[in-house]
Every structure is written in structure tokens, then in C-alpha cells.
């Protein structure tokens, strides 16, 4: 057997190892959410049925009271912005270790915050380097859009 053929498995293994590596520059945050109709009729399964439609969920990592000048590492970071329809999002391992007041912000298609969607208060959680921080599901409450039976609270908030 030639040396080139004998060395091929080692080269393939090295290539797979390089591709499989994930940079770990901090911790990660995983956040799930569910959108509910504000009038109590249940889950809104399609984010387009919120009024106005929710396009994105932005993870917010506020400074805890003991370090009020701490910057939000998610401010302006596309890695902290998720499509609403996914119902969950996870950042890469880029969040600096520390304590954060964690919350979410529903956003419209143009990136502006939704003024009609309500989210729970932030929760204080710790981020550690190399570890994912998993949050409990945030419940977003939003009005039901007219095209999704918004005027009829006896119907599910869903597209026709």
C-alpha cells in the first residue's frame, strides 16, 4: 500500500476534527418562548397572527444591580436575534461570563420593538464560559391580528 493511501484516513480524521470545532469565547444562552393571545384564547402558533406581526425575538442581557454599568453583549448582536417562528433561540458561546438580567424583546420586521407585545420581567441568571445557560420559556402576550379572527375571541387566533 502506498504512503498516500495509508495516510488518507488520518487526513480525513484531521479534517473532520477541524470542522467539528466550535469556538468557545464565553458562555451561551438558550431561550424558548411562546406567544399567547392577550385576550386569553390560547397560543398564537403563527407569529404573523400577533398584531402587529412579531418577526424577531431579541435576547436582552441587562446589567445586574451590583454592576449597573455592565454593557449588554447582545446589544446590536445578530447572534442574539432569532426568528419568532422558531420558538427557541441559542447564542453561540460568545457571552462574557457574569450575571445578567435576562429578558426578550419582540420585534417587528423592520427591527423596531413591538409596542403591543408584553413579556415577563427579566430574570437574574449566571453565564459561565463554555456552558449553556438555559432559560425557562418566556410567555409573550400579544393582541390577535384581524386576519386571524382577532375580532372573535371564541375562535383560535390563527390564519384562516
Q: pLDDT tens for residues 39-59?
A: 999 999 999 999 999 999 999
pLDDT given at position 160:
80
Tell me if 132 sits within 8 A of 27, measured CB to CB.
Answer: yes
Q: What gap in Å lies between CA 160 and CA 47, rounded to an integer?
A: 14
Tell me if 74 sits within 8 A of 91, measured CB to CB.
Answer: yes
Tell me if 119 sits within 8 A of 103, measured CB to CB.
Answer: yes
How confident is the model over 21-47, as a mean pLDDT?
92
The pTM of this model reads 0.83
**Over the stretch 91-106, which tens digit does the pLDDT of each residue have?**
999 999 999 999 999 9
For the segment(s) 25-148, the CATH number from 1.10.3720.10, 2.30.30.90, 2.60.40.1120, 1.10.357.140 is 2.60.40.1120
**Over the stretch 8-20, which tens digit does the pLDDT of each residue have?**
443 433 333 444 5
Provide the residue ranges of all domains of the chain, joining segments of one domain with +: 25-148
Amino acid at each position: 500500500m502506498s504512503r498516500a493511501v495509508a495516510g488518507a484516513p488520518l487526513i480525513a480524521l484531521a479534517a473532520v476534527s477541524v470542522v467539528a470545532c466550535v469556538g468557545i469565547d464565553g458562555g451561551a444562552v438558550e431561550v424558548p418562548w411562546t406567544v399567547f393571545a392577550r385576550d386569553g384564547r390560547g397560543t398564537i402558533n403563527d407569529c404573523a397572527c400577533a398584531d402587529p406581526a412579531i418577526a424577531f425575538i431579541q435576547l436582552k442581557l441587562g446589567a445586574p444591580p451590583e454592576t449597573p454599568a455592565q454593557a449588554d453583549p447582545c446589544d446590536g448582536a445578530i447572534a442574539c436575534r432569532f426568528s419568532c417562528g422558531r420558538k427557541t433561540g441559542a447564542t453561540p458561546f460568545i457571552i462574557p461570563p457574569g450575571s445578567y438580567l435576562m429578558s426578550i424583546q419582540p420585534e417587528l420586521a423592520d427591527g423596531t420593538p413591538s409596542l403591543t407585545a408584553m413579556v415577563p420581567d427579566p430574570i437574574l441568571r449566571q453565564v459561565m464560559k463554555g456552558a449553556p445557560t438555559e432559560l425557562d420559556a418566556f410567555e409573550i402576550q400579544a393582541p390577535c391580528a384581524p386576519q386571524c379572527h382577532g375580532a372573535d375571541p371564541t375562535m383560535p387566533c390563527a390564519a384562516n
